[in-house]
Homo-oligomer: A and B are copies of this chain.
Amino acid sequence: MLDANEVESYNTDWTKHYKGTSSIVLRPKCTQDVSKILAYCHTNHIGVVPQAGNTGLVGGSIPMSSSEIIVSVERMKDIISFDPTTGILTGQAGGILQDWQDYARDNRVILPIDLGSKGSCCIGGTVSTNAGGQYYARYKSLHANVVGLEVVLANGDILKFNIQETDKDSNSGCTVFCNLKDNTGYDLKHLFIGAEGSLGIITKVALWCSSSYPQSRCAVICACTSLEQVQKCLYLARQTLGETLSAFEFMDRSVTHLVANSPNSVTSQGNAATMIPKRISSTSGTDGDDSEFYPYYILVETHGSNGLHDDEKMERFLEESIQQNAVEDGVLAQDLTQLESMWAVRESCNPTVASHGYTYKYDVSLPISDFEDFANDLRRRLDSKCSSLDIAITNWGHIMDGNLHFNVTTLGKFDMEPKVLEALEPYIFESVIRRGGSISAEHGLGQAKNKYLPKVHGASTLALMKTIKQVMDPHGIMNPGKYLPLQL
């Protein structure tokens, strides 16, 4: 039984922007229980909010009405089986991502997904939101790596897609077989990947870990003065690091400045910020900014099977990048501790900006060549419409995927300011659409962005989405008001 404070925590999201007032939280332990709950809610037209790690950034797991119940899969955390021949890892939806990563590593394979929230997000939520993360270009999307799925539909029906258990009713102690290739009918599991619980609840996931756990990891943080340099650096990374390139993460000067001065980047191994190359005094100021930081930083990481080869590739990459003026400076991680410090810098972006004030978070896809113009345009707009506020714009993201995390923080002010929101929305989405981008790259729609869906897709596509929702959830009980807008 949960007390009132605990129930409140299920009603509050990570950003603290979204608060629900649901008084019922159910935490089933097995698929059969999820099935019974949904069948009951289906019959009685009760709204259900599926929840896993509750780490989303778009309010997708927070109820919008007090009549809804929350169904958390957090107690369904068993790893069911690992097949060393195929590398397929299968488990319940509530498993913590970090635990899946560790389990994979212990079996000498690498989990093909990594996110900043890995310590608390769950595999079920990761799949339900089609999360991307930093290794997307290397290990590919969840549409590639989720090879089996068990879901419970709104009416309680349990569907198994390419998951066969030796003991169907047990949740542990059984083995699972999953085929890597299966072309027997519409591959319906893809509908649930990224559906944010609007079609059913994912209860089991089979994830293909096709790559051996890297024998070596190398990393460098490079400093660039322009986005042209960043793109040149990406080109060289692809050429010289080739198949070992695993991450190419982008941070702008503003967020680097905040992170470098934040306690979030101090780890048990010391201050991670010492890994960031800084401008020497004679060069700073030449671009009209006296910051000790360069305009852009890139964290480049490789995963490989041969330490000598990998070190050689990374050294050659840094040498060529400097020689060809693709980077101004670079710091090479000398060991795994330094490499982890570099990741601590990158992963502290989110908590650091949150600690400085209310943050309007946008996760968009854009042509890389538009990143700067997009940010400058919004800077000018905020300067003119919200000049009385001290606002920081910070940018970071997965630039190899064209994925920009654009953040606007009202420094020192921790409440939402309507005039900032008005200045930003819907302008920011219109700007993204005009540039050919996506208004949600990897964070999903939830209740934050779903109202903009009609601006994104044509009428036929929207009608088809609506029909699929109606067919699979005829009473509209699954995550009401999220994902597809009500007025669709």
Contact = CB atoms under 8 A, between A and B. Distances in A.
Given A141-B144, A143-B143, A457 B243 contact: no
Most-contacted residue by chain B among A212, A367, A439 (CB, 10 A): A212
A239 interface: yes
A178 B443 CA distance: 18
A183 B460 contact: no
A333 interface: no
A69 interface: no
A159 interface: yes
A403 interface: yes
B179 A441 contact: yes
A461 interface: yes
Given A141-B144, A180-B401, A194-B187, A303 B440 contact: no
Contacts of A480: none
Interface in A219-241: 231, 234, 238-241
A191 interface: yes
Nearest to A243: B243
A98 interface: no
A136 B403 CA distance: 26
Chain A interface category by residue count: 35 or more
A137 B461 contact: no
Nearest to A183: B440
Contacts of A402: 85-86, 179-181
Contacts of A159: 458, 460-461, 464
Contact of A194 (B183, B445, B472): B183
Given A143-B187, A144-B144, A181 B401 contact: yes
Interface string A433-474: 000111111111100010001001110111011011101100
A337 interface: no
Contacts of A464: 159, 188, 471-472
B181 A438 contact: yes
Contacts of A306: 242, 309, 313
Among A143, A184, A484, the one with the most B-chain Cβ atoms within 10 Å of its Cβ is A184
A161 interface: yes
Given A184-B438, A184-B445, A184-B449, 8 more contacts: A129-B183, A136-B181, A183-B443, A183-B445, A184-B439, A185-B456, A188-B464, A464-B472
13 contacts: A85-B234, A129-B183, A140-B140, A140-B144, A153-B460, A157-B460, A182-B365, A187-B191, A187-B193, A188-B461, A309-B312, A309-B313, A468-B468
The 7 residue pairs across chains A and B that have the minimum distance between CB atoms: A242-B305, A144-B144, A190-B190, A179-B365, A177-B436, A181-B441, A182-B438
